[in-house]
C-alpha cells in the first residue's frame, strides 16, 4: 500500500496556499524562450502543470494567449487570482495531464516545467501522446525534467519504488505523488515523435540540475 495519489498535489497546494512556486522566480530560460516564440510568431501557449502560475504570468505579461492545466484545483485558483490581480487573463482548466482539455492542434507552443515525471510510465506515455495531439504541426515544446537516476537521498522523505525508477514518498509535502526518474536515453525514446531542436536552444541543465530542451512536433507526420 503506497498511498499513491496524483491528487497529493492538491493537498500540497492547500497546505501552502501562498504557493511555493509563485514565490520563486520564473525559470531561467524564459527570456530566451520569449525571443524564440516571438521569432516564430507563437500566439497560443499551453503551460501543462502550470501550478500557481509563475510562467502564465510571465508570458501573459508579454502578450501571449495563455492557457494552463493542472491537476490541483487550488493551484488553478491561485493562478487565476494572481493573473486577475495583474489585469491579465488565461484560459485555465483543472485536470490530469493524461487528458489535455483542448482540441487537436490548439497550441503553437507548450511549457512543461518539472511536471511530466509525476506519473507512472503508462500515464507518462499517455501524456506524451496528448502533448503531441494538442500541439500544431511545427509547434514547440519546452520541457524540463530530471534525468539522473538515484535512490532517495539519506534524510529524504521515505519512499517506495512502485515500478522501475518510479518512487512515491510515504511522507512529506509530496506524499503520494509519483516521481519517475528518467535517464537521457529513456527521455529521448519516450519523446521520439518529436525533433530535439538543438539549433533553437541547446539541450542543457538548469541551475537546479534539470535537463531542459526544446522539441518540435514535425510537420506532416
Residues that bind ligand SAM (CB under 6 A): 6, 9, 21, 49-51, 54, 70-72, 75, 96-97, 113-115, 118-119
Q: Which is nearer to ligand SAM, 125 or 198 (CB)?
A: 125
Q: Do 114 and 85 touch, CB atoms closer than 8 A?
A: no
Q: Which grid coordinates are listed for 29?
A: 530560460
Q: Among residues 33 and 113, whose Cβ is nearest to ligand SAM?
A: 113
- Minimal distance in Å, beta carbon 218 to ligand SAM? 25
Specify the residue, 46 or 196, whose C-beta has the smaller distance to ligand SAM: 46
| Distance in Å, CB of 193 to ligand SAM, minimum | 20
Q: Which DSSP string corresponds to 128-186?
A: HHHHHHHEEEEEEEEEEE-----PPPTTSPPEEEEETTEEEESSSTTTT--EE---HHH
* 21 versus 37: smaller Cβ distance to ligand SAM: 21
Give the span between the Cα atoms of 197 and 209, in whole angstroms: 20
| CB contact at 8 A, 93 and 103 | no
Position closest to ligand SAM via CB: 51
Shortest separation between residue 142's beta carbon and ligand SAM, angstroms: 11
Residue among 176 and 199 whose Cβ is closer to ligand SAM:
176
Please say which residue, 14 or 138, places its beta carbon nearer to ligand SAM.
14
Which residues have C-beta within 8 Å of that of residue 185, sequence separation ≥ 6? none
Q: How far is the CB of 37 from ligand SAM (least distance, A)?
A: 17
Torsion of CA 52, 68, 119, 103, to 10 degrees: 170
Smallest separation, CB 163 to ligand SAM (Å): 16
If 0-12 CB within 10 Å is exposed, 13-18 middle and 19+ buried, where does residue 189 land?
exposed
Q: Work out how close the CB of 149 gets to ligand SAM at its nearest, in angstroms, rounded to a whole number.
A: 18
Amino acid at each position: 500500500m503506497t498511498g499513491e495519489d496524483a491528487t497529493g498535489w492538491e493537498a500540497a497546494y492547500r497546505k501552502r496556499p501562498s504557493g511555493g512556486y509563485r514565490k520563486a522566480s520564473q525559470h531561467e530560460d524564459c527570456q530566451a524562450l520569449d525571443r524564440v516564440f516571438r521569432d516564430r510568431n507563437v500566439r497560443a501557449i499551453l503551460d501543462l502543470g502550470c501550478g500557481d502560475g509563475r510562467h502564465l504570468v510571465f508570458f501573459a505579461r508579454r502578450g501571449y494567449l495563455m492557457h494552463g492545466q493542472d491537476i490541483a484545483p487550488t493551484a488553478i485558483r491561485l493562478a487565476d487570482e494572481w493573473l486577475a490581480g495583474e489585469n491579465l487573463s488565461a484560459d485555465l482548466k483543472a485536470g490530469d495531464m493524461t487528458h489535455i482539455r483542448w482540441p487537436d492542434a490548439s497550441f503553437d507552443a507548450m511549457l512543461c516545467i518539472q511536471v511530466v515525471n509525476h506519473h507512472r510510465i503508462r500515464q507518462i506515455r499517455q501524456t506524451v501522446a496528448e502533448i503531441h495531439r494538442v500541439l500544431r504541426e511545427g509547434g514547440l515544446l519546452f520541457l524540463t525534467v530530471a534525468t539522473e537516476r538515484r535512490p532517495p537521498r539519506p534524510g529524504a522523505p521515505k519512499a517506495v519504488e512502485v515500478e522501475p525508477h518510479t518512487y512515491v514518498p510515504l511522507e512529506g509535502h509530496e506524499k503520494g505523488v509519483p516521481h519517475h526518474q528518467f535517464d537521457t536515453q529513456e527521455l529521448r525514446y519516450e519523446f521520439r515523435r518529436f525533433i530535439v531542436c538543438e539549433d533553437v536552444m541547446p539541450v542543457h541543465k538548469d541551475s537546479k540540475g534539470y535537463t531542459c530542451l526544446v522539441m518540435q512536433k514535425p510537420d506532416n507526420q
